[in-house]
Structure formats: structure tokens, C-alpha cells
Structure 1
């Protein structure tokens, strides 16, 4: 037995409950006699076994997160198993009335990664001296790499403080844990950021698996806070490139940008404030369920998969908030997704993020306070289609404006991938035969052997779009976009695909995407001109700092109106005009695309009457369209107004996260989308004219062309658009 508080040889490793009880009884029956052992039922946890009133009590010691934080019954969290035991050795009546830990059964010292403090040894001294040779020799003798000194620092802490990458790399190769905190509450990554060592930061994260969101014990500051407060802009850039969120919060809710500005590091603050996050690779359609109760959500997860990390996102009627429901270790966790005053979303004390998609992507990469990362999304069950036409009553309209959520999510955004240099001939990759009715004099029908497929640049529900090349009859090689149906859509969507091609073959206008040709396959291929900047929606959400709303937006608006006027002259309605379906050839040239829903009026008619419903983009539709299935150039004008609104909000979703039917109800009550912050009053007045309830009250596309090519409100841009032959 030993009474010394500073001696911590009370650890007995993998000892069963029965063996622990036998060992204690053999030693003494004195109150407070104890030992600590590994938990058999919960890996990483420990058990305190102690005698009290001739009985042996067992207390589970739970380890928190990835570091040495422990508690008994969630009462008080202690940094270090040694600190926890010392507390109960010096504080009576906490575990139960009259009990205090006194003597212990002699064992060994607890594992290094469970302790807060230790003693300086040769490994620490060799690391501080920068001697890789000595460090390597010590590690070969099975010297534990995570042993701590008197300040709770491991060799990894010391190497990171000095920027000794050569030693740190060797420690990592020997399985050093780079996420341990010292007695001051810092991890090695905190120190690398404080001391401005970008290469050390990269090494810790990429090779060592350092947690970029590791929080300081007391302040809650993450490594990005440390770098920003000191103005270490190269460290800030490195952390962002390593997927660190740009708006984490400390315990005072301060972000790194705010700390940088408080310390007069203006360049660093502005870089963080103006940073534009990339478009996420996840989509709401994979995990968002709309209104769903807690019990329903948990039942749905059980039916789908009972794997750790299975999740969905839902809207709670009770809380009027979106909720993340997560399955882990046979239990369910429900996290409210809050929004701050600026519209950013967050969970608990997590970082401020742009949208639900960014929430899911962030917690798919790191736990950051959750019990596990998000891994298995539960897709929503197919819902009944929207009724073909609404017959809802039209209440008296009011003059209210809808507050739009700042979400960047879109039901119809194609997924985009980084460019790749994979030139794979279509004849080898997709098809084994060519059944084209090919005419040497008609290049609208293209043999597959003249096409080469490159990188995937867009993907929708029914089709994929690839960058590619086309060898023309005259030997000229040109870059093209190749659109093909997904194999599972080949039968059901073939008619729509051919109808879109038929429409595009008739169109020839510099503000409309040009169809170069068609390959009948199988599979069906549509060959279109390649527009280098891609979707306008994607461009404005990722390049807002490069856009002048008084220049590009007005040029694009004029060009869209001009292209729509061309469709009107050809007695066509688009029916899917939206920012996602505008492509950019350059900053000065926008073109209308995606004619999958386009229809001709029919001789003697002023509108197209839809005979069946489908997956309609209701938030872009005029009242006569969603109520009666009537589509005309004036219903396209309504969609034009929504498209311009998308521009001036830099890609926000109309009506936020409301369902299409919910947006319809607001429109019927007289509400309209709110004026975007960057939108001038006279442009917003144009939008509101486009959203007149009666179609006859809306402007024509000719009038819209005139308005945007001679914008007296700010500047005359007629000469600017003339550069691209608009007028």
C-alpha cells in the first residue's frame, strides 16, 4: 500500500471485476482503498474500484473526445486521469457520503496518453536539442513517444514549438499522438500556428492526423484563432486549404477574423471575411426530409441502416428549426441547426457555416463535438407528385416581402468536378456499336468515332455532361460539351432528350447555347458548344468578389432577355429559366441552355397548355403556370425576374428552404421575394413588375432588353453589350 499523493502507481491495466475485488480484499478492508483498471465494456475508459463499508464499489471513468479528459458520472471533467484521482484523494464526500480515496494497491503508472503531467526525459531533451539521431535511437528502444514532461508536453509539442519537421515526422512514424493537450491546454498544432510554421502545420494535419478544430481547454480557441490573432496569414491559408472552417468560435463566440481585426491584422481579417467557400459535393436530395417528427426520423433510420454515422436532416415543427438526427452506438442524437443574426448556420458551439450542405459536409469530415462523423445519409422516401394544377383559393393579396434564407442549396444544381485530363474515346468507354443514320453532308448527326470524352463537368438527375473534343469533317478539332442520359434513364427519358435536341436544332442565336449535333447511339449523345465558365449559378456563388453587379449582372440580364425575345419570336416557351440554366462563355457573354421543358405554342395559340405534371421548378413559376398549367412568354418573364433575383443575391435559393407548395401559398397571399442587398431600387422595381399576378401586367422581353441595354439608373451599358454583338 502507498499513501503518497504524488505517486501514481495505482493502475492495474486489464484486470477483470472479479480479480480487482479479490486483490482489494487480500490487501485490506479499509475504507478508501482503491485501484484503477481498464474498462472491459468500453474501450478507452477506466474503472475506479474502491472499498467502502466492507463492500467494493466500481465507478466508470469516462474518457471524453480524443484527448485525456475524464469524468465519473459526468460530474466534473478533469484533464488527466492522474488529476482526477488526485482530486478524489483530496476531496471527501463526493463519490458518496464519508468516502475519500486513501491508500491504493500498488500497480504501475497509467498510460502516458491518459496523464496530464510527467517528467522530462531524454526524448524531451533530444527533441529540444534538434537531434534527429538521438531521437531515432531512443524510439528504437521502444521509448513511448507520448510521455509527458512536467508541463504536460510530449515530444510532438516540443518539436512543433520549434518547427523541427524532421523530428516531428519521425515521431509521427512511431505513432505519436499529435492531438494530446498539455497542461496549458494546447495541442502541437496550436503551437505550430502560434510560432508561424506553415510546413509544420501541413505535416501535423496531413501525416499526423491533427484535428484542425481541436479546442483550447479554457478559451475554446482552435488553431485558426491562434494564427489569425497573430496575423500569420500563411498559416491561415494553409489551414483553410486543409479544410479548416473559416468561422470557428471560441467560448466568447469570437471568430478568427474578429481576433485579427482586434489586433489590427487587417489583411488577414479581410481575407477571412471575404473568403468564398467552394460548392459542396453533397446534395440535400440525399438526406433532407422536410417536416419530420423525431420518432419518425428514428424509425426511418432504423429501417434504413443501424450503422454508426447514419443520419438525416429534417425540419422540426416543434422547434421551427432544422434538426440533424444521428445514430451512434445504439442511440440517437438530435442536434438543432441554429442560425445566427447574419444567417450562418451552426450546431452547438461549432463553426458558423453557409448552408445545410456545408453543415453536412463539415461534419462528414470531422466530428467537431459529435459522437462520430456523418457517414451514411438516409434518403427521403419518394413523395406523391405535386398535383398537376393547384385549385387553391386566391385570398386577398397583401404587399409583404418574403425574407429569404441565405441557403446556397438548389434542387437542380448540377454536380461539378475538377477538370481532369482523361481523354477516353467514347467508342471504347460507353458504346460498342454505332447506329447513326449518318450523312456525310449533315454534320448534325455525328459518328461516335469523331468524339473523345474528357472530364465530367456536370451531372443532373437524368443526364451527365462531359468536356470533350469533336473532329469535324474538315479535320478541325474543337472542344465541345457532350451530354448523355444515365443508363437507367435511357428508356423513360429518351423522348424528352430527343425533344430537347429537336428544339435546340432549330435555334441559332448568340445568346442561346448552340447544339452542334446529335449522336443517336445507343447511348443518345447531344453535342453542344462548350462554355468555359460553366453555370452562371456556380460562377456567382464562387466568384462574388470578382463581379461588379453594375456591369456583369446588367450585361447578362440584357443577354438573357434578348435570347428569350428570340425564343418568343420562334413561338417557344422555355419553362425552366433559372440561374442554373444560364451558361457563361465569358464574363461578357451569357447564354440560355437546358431546353428539356421547352415547348412550342401551337398554331393560333398564345400559350402552351401542359397536359401532365412532373418535377416542376415551382419556385420559378408564375401563378397561371402552377394553377392552370398555362405557359407563355409572360410566364417566362416571371421566371426571368426570379433569375435576376438569384444574380443579385449571388446564388441564394428563392424562398429559402420552403417547399414549392409553401412558396405558392406566399405568392397567392401577395408576398414577393425580398430586395437583395446589392440590388439597386430601380432593378428591384423591374423584378416586382415581372412578378405581377396578372400576366398582362408584366413587361415584355423587348421592354426588358431596352431597360437593361439603356440603364439610365447607373450607367449606359449599351456600348458595353455591343462589344458582344448584343444589339
Structure 2
């Protein structure tokens, strides 16, 4: 491990490009030939003081995250630790030490161009702004990298786009008064300590709820990236829409900011002019397309808006406007989510989404028919009476012999984990219930059509397009889990439940694990009753589980779905499967599976976990396939 010492400022090096996107880094590197060992350093958009090393090898660009540790040191995952990114780069210029190639040639900024910071400010202006704000907070004696992280937490209070505690209606009125331009926005504080971004898009104001994680303190919209501060979030979404309807372009300036004189604003370390994004303000910084700009379905989530809606999520109107370019065209929601989704979910709207396990009244629960039975116990269909309404439920119980004295029952652990999840494509937990015999039961929302594999076996004429839409939903649910740092460890078609023929939910979290803060994987102490046919090689050999392992399982799940419920590796035993995988062989392409979908499966089955896509990439790939299906570029065999 490298020894500590003074950290050199990255801005002293011409190969440091500042806060640029992954796509921008790749364009810059390819523009200089993408030769082996060509590299640049950039700062992550959503984390202060976190960096990424972008490196060329074999005509491809690889991105190494430089992880920060509690002692101020940084390192590439599992690598040596250094006082800062410049010290790490100097080491790898002389030593391979785990990289694909040594750092041979820096991709330097052109003459006269400077590393990107925030809001179009140069480094000197940013430092002055931070130090002036730090003096006001009494933390000016901190090192620069710690000072920046500290000041960023509260700097939104001094920004022109922050309007404090105002209502949704007031925010809408302010944006409308300022004039409807796509991307015009403001940020407000909501009751309870959360925030919301109000944004104008096509003459309508939409509101995105911004939550703050109680554990990490990070901010995010639903299913979005997590940011250390609101300031970084706004800066990020001015560069990439990345889940919003469009990029943020121009701030609606708060009255308190307008009332502050230029001199007073300078004393707070703020620019004199109202905020505009670097693009809207006409800065020379070149824009590059986002990796998702060409996707037909974009990044619109099921419900990214504030939870006080006065507008439905945007969809194709009855009298459509002239179609926008493909990069911004919005989806017809029914095509992804199915025509009966809202009706199927409506009955559960009366059930609170639990943040903690909730104890239910056993007398209000009636059990009917058994839905399934396995190693864990059984699942029974039931009815739970709530305020005079019958709520259809699925009730999971644990086998008696699985209970261990003085140890928290596994079903309690599963309930505690599920209570933290809230996503349209994940089965919702209603609560816990204790039977008279003392047996604990987990009460869940009911997905009436049951497991995907069984349904497909019985419905061989189901449309292939429906199956593809379901696989997209599963990928989106898994992307949410990945973002919440959960590994499922049992993703399979049997654990994808159908609410309707066009709407699926991921279930069975009995084997799932919540990763520790900053951890990317979980190491099991011993092997268990594991579904090895769905497991990635590192799970079997090293008991190492991560979201990349879940990606492998997704590939097998997709194969099951496109095979209409067939069992993977039929009549093969464990060692035979391992031999097949090590030889480079994979499950064969199902008869009705489009080539593009089989390629997604093969991408999920790359032997080296680091080379597999993450779920964000899988979602993007599946959206591309569905876009091509809609355009007739992919023909489906029915």
C-alpha cells in the first residue's frame, strides 16, 4: 500500500479534463487515435473528489473508477492505494500492476482549453467560490478536496435556482410566468425534507421528486444516479437528461436571489449573472451525444414525477404534435407497461408502502389455495381485509425446521430487506403476520398469473413482442436493485411473476443481500442450496456475488423466456455445465429468439465479470431491440 502524503491537485495536469461524461471522454480519446496506453483523467459527475481513469487498449476505451477510501486514499478496485489520482497515474505509467496496459501517452487538453468544473466556471472562480462559502461556514482550514465535499452539501442554498420551501402550485406558476422553454427549471424544498425539480417541457411543467438517502446522505430522483449534493445533481442534468424529459437549460431565478445585489452575491462566492447551463449559455464546450440519445424509449421511468401529480406522465397524445427527433421521442407508456397495469395495481394503492416491516392482524387474513412449495416452505393465496376491502395477497411461510434458536428467522430478514424496496417491477411487501401457532408469514401483493416459466409453458402462442417487453421490465427492476446496492442471487423465470400478460414483477428475495456501503460484491462463507444453472462462474468458484452475477442470471432468465419455459442445460449435471462454460460454449439460441436478443444474452454470459454489461446497459440494449421491432427492423417469429 502506498504511503500517505500531500495530494497533488489534478488541475495541474493537462490530461485532467475535469467534469466530463463517459461519452465525451471516449470521443476525445478516439479523436487522438485510441492507441494502446492513451489515457485521460476525469472527475465523476455525481461524486465530489471521485475520479475515473479512461484508457485505450486494443481500439476500445476502458474506464477505471478510482475509489475513495475513508483515510483519504484512492485506488482502482482491489489495487494499491495512493494519496491522489495523479500519484496513482504516475505509478501506472511505470507499472502495469493490473491494468490492461501501462499509461503510455496522455490525452492532453488542447491549447487554450481548460478542465471543466461547474456551471461554466473555471477552476479559479470555483475555488474562490468555495473558499468564500467555507469562510462563512467556518471550515476554511480544510484541505481542498475535503473543503469541496463539505461546502457542496449546502451551496444550493445560495443558488439562483433554489426557491426554498414553496408549494408545487407556486413552483408551476413561477415557471409559467418565466416563460415556457424546454429545460427551464427550479428546485424547491418539499415537506418532510425532500426536494423537487420543476421543469418545463413542451409547454407543460413536470415535477421530479428528489429523495435524500438517510444512510448515505446522497440525493437522487427515482431510479436515477446518486449525488453528494443538489448542486452536483443540477450540474449533471445540465449536461445529460439521463432520466429527465430534457436537459436543464435555464434557471427560473428566485426572488431572494434577484433581491441580492451583485456585490452581495460576490461575497457569497456566486456569479453575477443568473444561472444557465454551459450549453444554453453558449459556452464553447463541445457537446457529445449521450449513450442513450438514440434509444426510442429514452429514460422515462414509470413514475419519475413528484408524488403530488396534477399531470399524467407524458404519452403520445390523441392529436399528436409533430414527432420530435428520435433522440427525444417519448414512449407510448402502454407499449412498455401493458394496458391493464393501472387496473391491476389500483387495489394496492390503499396499502401503504412500508418503510419498516408492518405487523398485520392475523384475524383479517384468510388463506385459500396453495400457489407453490419449495425448500423454504410454501406460498399460499389469500385475502386480507383492509378497511372493508378485500385485498388479494400471496402469503409466504418458512419451514419450521429452518428456524434456529437465538437467530433472527430468515423470513424476518427477507421482510426487512423487501420493506426497503419500492419499484413498479418488484413485488411489493404488504407486511408481516403471525399465525396462532407462532408461524411468521410474509404477506405480499399477488401476481395472479404466476411464474413466467410456467405461464409460457401453458401459453406457447404468447406474442414474442410481449415477452421482450417483459424482459425489459425485468431489466429495469434489476437496474433499480443494482442502484440500491442489492444483489438478488436467485433471478430466474420462476421468480418473475406475471400480474398480467404484459406486466411482470421480480419476486423471491430470500437469498438477496444488501451490500455494505461502498461495497460492490458479497462473499458467501459457505455454499448453500444454490441454483447453479443460473449462476455466473465467479459465484460457483469463489462464492462472490455482485450485480454482474445477477446480469449473468438475467441472461439465463431471458433464455428461459425466449424458449417458452424450457429448462436451461436440460439433462446436464454441474461439472458438465462448468466444462461447457469454460470451453466457451453457451446455451443455444432459442428458435424464436431474434439475433439481437441472443446477442444480449451472450453479452451477459461473458466469463469475466468485469467485461459484462451492467443493468443500465442491458436496459439500453433491450430498449434498442424493442425500438427496432416497432420500426420493423427486427422481424419476430410467432
Q: TM-score, normalised by structure 2?
A: 0.42
Structure exhibiting the larger radius of gyration computed from Cα positions:
1
Bigger RCO (CA 8 Å, 6+ sep): 2
Q: TM-score, normalised by structure 1?
A: 0.37
